Amino acid sequence: MSYDWSGPVNSLLNTLQKAGYTIVAVFDGEEWTKFNQTTNLAVRKEATDIITSVDECHLRIKKGDMKLRLFIVLGNEPEEIVVAYTPNDELEVSLDKYITIWEGKKCPTK
How many other CB atoms sit within 10 Å of the CB of residue 73? 14
d(CA 60, CA 54) in angstroms, rounded, equals 16
d(CA 81, CA 11) in angstroms, rounded, equals 11
pTM (two decimals): 0.96
pLDDT, tens digit (0-9, with 9 covering 90-100), for 14-59: 999 999 999 999 999 999 999 987 899 999 999 999 999 999 999 9
Nearest to 66 by CA among 92, 100, 44: 92
- Looking at every residue in the chain, the average pLDDT score rounds to 95
CA dihedral (98, 56, 37, 63) positive or negative: positive
The gap from C-alpha 54 to its chain's centroid, in whole angstroms, comes to 13
Q: Which pLDDT belongs to residue 38?
A: 80
Domain extents in the chain: 6-102
